Chain A
């Protein structure tokens, strides 16, 4: 049994416990409310949770667990914050810009290394000091624009702020706390000095390039892919004549010449990325003028994509014209140079050949390609004609002396393969505009033919003068022979003589005939007369002569005649005489025997091909022996009269041959080498027409006699006397006249007296007086029916050959022979 006291104690204890429990619940409830408030929610309401549930739910436990999580989260967040702060600090320090943190009194709260470097490198104790003292280096901040940060609460920007010779972009930004108060400002300094300097450099560079671009003389254009002009320079506008405002309406295709399809396609390929490089084309200007340009096109790339083309061109129209003109001038000069009839070689200052013309190529045997670059001494090899020693090269002398040098006489150019030509030349130094020698020009010509012609001319003149002399002598001599022969003839005709006398007279006549033959040769050789030409076969003539001469000789003869050999018009007797002389010479040149080669062929002589002959067809006769030959000294003299190397020679053979061939308008030439033999060449003009051969009248043995009155005119008394005797013997009455004037007077008087002459015999030429040639004209005036006979020792005179044309009825050669004179006189008088 529980006592009362116990009950009381237990009741009291229960009350106490109840009180403590209530106190505990209150405590828990207070702490829960406190914790809930911290958690941001409202306190617990008693009706929400009764005490028992409160204890059961354990809100403190719940919230404590939540706090654990909150604290853990805060811890993590703090760690992140620390890292972030460190990062910001690092950024602050390492930023390439100056950062300054100031308070409202402009006192320095913080700054970074870069800022210190900009404004107060090496200084310390900056924190807490006014920024203007260290940054702006000023005593106060009254003009500081960044004061506005604190006044207006806004960011302040300052661009290109000049501080201590450097430029800064400065931005000041306020830092505002939760109470919206400006607690500080962050001022950032960006040093832009380098940027400004680079900008300035860039600007100057751009200006420089723009200056170049605009003032360039070349035309510059930039073209878009569609062909439109993106920009052009001033020279472009000026050259093409378009104003700046017009360019935007143009495309490249407006200025490319319509004919220049290549250029159009070129432009298109460039747009597609091709690189054409250098280009020459034609543009058309605004006024439709054509200009030639050359230049480059490049493509403009943007990330490997062609966004346009850039072209730089130069107007070369004038240059082109000048080049064309120069080229044409050069071509003309070159053609002129190559066409010059003389050989021309030009060298540089070292004597190396630069140019050699056609004639020089032919003469030296070196072509332009072969000669160019070779030393002049190699190509122009000259020797002295007489000594055969190498001659001084005139080019070297001209280059050395700077003066024109004429070549020595008797110089021979030895061509590449040994051919030798006599040349004349001169060398002049080539001077440039500063009169400095830059080379030499050698001009030379082949004077081999000229020298030969000069030699022939000299010889011809010599022979002609000798001919005149010989002719004069022969004429007189012939008259004397006329007297001798006529009288011998007359004596033998008129008188019957004893045999011994007859033999003596025959000897005298034979000697006289030989003298006449010699005289005839002299007369032929002299310019006494033209040959009496007839159409003839030269081969027959040659054969006949060879047969005659070679009869009994120890030499063989081979002959060759072209089958279609042209006919010639020659005096057969004279040409036979020439061939006889040449063949005789050949035989005599080969005393031990040998071979004579005779040939005849047709040749055509063109212009200048054979000096001394006119152009046309010729029969060329060659007579070649294997004899001793003619020495160099003698070969120039062989055609001179009375030049002979033979003991028995007259020295007239070749002189006569020369004269005869000359009178036939032909040419005689000789080639000879001592020990090898000699070749004589005869050129006779081939016949173009035909000549009728004249039939000779038959002759009788007895001289023809007759009757009549004859006037005989001759200046030579012996001739007059002899001829008079012959005519009288033949039955004629003879009157005499010594010259033309006498003859005319006598003839006229006889005519007036009614006793006119039946015939007149007149000497063709009277030295120093009127000859038959002149007198016949006068006589014909007096008596158109006059019958005159011309006589002359020059049987070859053209008047003798064509006497009818001159008014003569007949012709008789001197010296007179009874037979001949009788026949002619008889024939003339019989015609009456």
Chain B
């Protein structure tokens, strides 16, 4: 599985969300096929709510991991 990281630190909402949604849209097919996992590095706390909620509504799985300086939001093909 390909891991594609996006460093969107220093970005704030809604830009963070828009960037995340844009990348998810771009990788929709790969995500659905389960060949790719997108990881968004962010330091925006609002994004920890907005991204997972939107991504969940879109039917993907979300996992939030707290790193030392930021958060990793992992998005992968959910249970369709």
- The interface residues of chain A, by DSSP majority, are classed as helix
Pairwise interchain contact A42-B59, C-beta atoms closer than 8 A: no
Decide yes or no whether A59 CB sits under 8 A from chain B: yes
Known: A39-B17, A43-B14. Contact between A72 and B46, CB under 8 A? no
Which chain B positions have C-beta within 8 A of A62?
18, 21-22, 25
Contact yes or no, A41 B13, CB < 8 A: yes
Is A41 in contact with B17, judged by CB distance below 8 angstroms? yes
CA distance in complex: A66, B21 (Å): 7
8 A Cβ contacts from A59-74 to B: 59, 62-63, 65-66, 69-70, 72-74
User: Does B24 count as interface, using CB distance less than 8 angstroms?
Assistant: yes
> A7 in the interface, Cβ–Cβ < 8 Å?
no
Tell me if B35 counts as interface (CB < 8 A to partner A).
no
Determine if A69 and B28 form an interchain contact, defined as CB atoms under 8 angstroms apart.
yes
Nearest CB on B from A56, distance (A):
12
A57-B18, A76-B80 are contacts. A42–B13 as well, Cβ < 8 Å?
A: yes
Which of B2-10, B47-55, B66-74 has 4 or more CB atoms under 8 Å from chain A? B47-55
Within 8 A of B (CB), among A64-116: 65-66, 69-70, 72-74, 76-77
Q: Give CA–CA (A39, B57) in the complex, Å.
A: 9
Decide if B50 touches A73 in the complex (CB within 8 Å): no
Judged by a CB distance under 8 angstroms, whether A460 is at the interface is no
B65 proximal to A (CB < 8 A)? no
Q: How far is the CA of A76 from the CA of B58 in the complex (A)?
A: 11
**Is A66 a contact of B54 with CB atoms below 8 Å?**
yes
Q: A62-B25, A63-B21, A66-B24 are in contact. Are A73 and B57 (CB under 8 A)?
A: yes
The one of B24, B54, B59 in contact with A39, judged by C-beta atoms closer than 8 angstroms, is B54
| Chain B residues whose CB sits within 8 angstroms of the CB of A70 once the complex forms | 54, 57-59
A36 proximal to B (CB < 8 A): yes
Check A40–B50 contact: CB distance below 8 A. yes
Please determine whether B58 and A59 come into contact, CB atoms closer than 8 angstroms.
no
Which residues of A have CB within 8 Å of B21?
39, 62-63, 65-66
Pick the contact of B49: A40, A48, A65, A76 (CB < 8 A): A40
A49 at the interface (CB under 8 A from B): yes
B57 touches A41 (CB 8 A): no
A443 to nearest B CB, angstroms?
108
Q: Which residues of B contact A76 (CB under 8 A)?
A: 59, 80
A41 near B59 with CB under 8 A, answer no
Among B14, B17, B25, B28, max chain A CB count under 10 A is at B14
Which of B14, B22, B24 is A41 in contact with, Cβ under 8 Å?
A: B14
Instruction: Find the residue from A59, A65, A66 having the highest chain B CB count within 10 A.
Output: A66
Is B15 touching A42 in the complex (CB atoms < 8 A)? no
A57–B14 Cα distance when bound, in Å, is 12
What residues of B have a CB within 8 angstroms of the CB of A66 in the complex? 21, 24-25, 54, 58
Decide: B46 and A41 in contact? CB cutoff 8 A. Answer: yes
Cα A85 to Cα B76 in complex, Å, equals 29
Provide the bound-state CA to CA distance between A502 and B58, in Å.
190
**In the complex, which residues of chain A have a beta carbon less than 8 angstroms from the beta carbon of B17?**
36, 39, 41
Chain A interface, number of residues (Cβ within 8 angstroms): 22
- Chain A residues within 8 Å of B58, by CB: 66, 69-70, 73
Closest B residue by C-beta to A65: B25
A663 CB → nearest B CB, Å: 142
Indicate if A44 sits at the interface (CB-CB under 8 A).
yes
Q: Which residues of chain A are within 8 angstroms of B46 by Cβ–Cβ distance?
A: 41-42
Evaluate contact between B54 and A72: CB separation under 8 angstroms.
no
Query: B3 to chain A: closest CB distance in Å?
Result: 21
Most chain A beta carbons < 10 A, residue from B13, B24, B28, B80:
B13
CB < 8 Å neighbour of B15 from A39, A49, A65: A49
Give the residues in chain A near B18, CB-CB below 8 Å. Answer: 36, 57, 59, 62-63
CB distance from A509 to the nearest CB of B (A): 170
Residue of B nearest to A39 (CB): B54
Contact residues of B between 1 and 49, Cβ < 8 Å to A = 12-15, 17-18, 21-22, 24-25, 28, 46, 49
| Across-interface contacts of B22 in A (CB, < 8 A) | 57, 62
Task: State A62–B12 Cα separation when bound (angstroms).
Answer: 17
Assuming the contacts A69-B59, A73-B58, asked whether A36 and B25 have C-beta atoms less than 8 A apart, the reply is no
Docked Cα-Cα span, A57 to B57, in Å, equals 22
* Nearest-CB residue, chain A, relative to B26: A65
A44 to B13, CA, bound (A): 8
- The residue of chain B having its C-beta at the shortest distance from the C-beta of A48 within the complex is B15
Inter-chain CA distance A63–B17, complex, in Å, is: 10
Task: Report whether B28 and A36 are in contact in the complex, using a CB–CB cutoff of 8 Å.
Answer: no
Residues of chain A with a CB closer than 8 A to B53's CB:
40
Nearest opposing residue in chain A for B47, CB measure = A41
Most buried by B among A36, A40, A48, A74: A40
Q: How far is the CA of A63 from the CA of B54 in the complex (A)?
A: 10
In this complex, what residue of B is CB-closest to A43? B14
Minimum CB–CB distance from A83 to chain B (whole Å) comes to: 14
Give B9 Cβ to nearest chain A Cβ, in Å.
15
Assembled-state Cα–Cα distance A676/B19 (Å): 155
A74 contacts which chain B residues (CB < 8 A)? Answer: 57
Docked-complex contact A42 and B25, CB < 8 angstroms: no
Chain B residues with Cβ below 8 Å from A59 are: 14, 18
Once bound together, how far apart are the Cα atoms of A49 and B53, in whole Å? 23
Set of chain B residues within 8 Å of A77, measured between Cβ atoms: 59
**Cβ-closest 5 pairs across A and B:** A73-B59, A65-B25, A41-B50, A69-B58, A41-B14
- Enumerate 16 A-B pairs (CB-CB under 8 Å) in ascending A order: A39-B21, A39-B50, A40-B50, A40-B54, A41-B13, A41-B46, A41-B50, A41-B54, A44-B14, A48-B12, A57-B22, A63-B18, A66-B25, A69-B24, A69-B25, A70-B57
Given contacts A62-B21, A63-B21, 9 further A-B contacts (CB under 8 A): A36-B14, A39-B50, A39-B54, A41-B14, A41-B50, A48-B14, A59-B14, A65-B25, A65-B28
> Which residues on B are within 8 Å of A, measured CB to CB?
12-15, 17-18, 21-22, 24-25, 28, 46, 49-50, 53-54, 57-59, 80
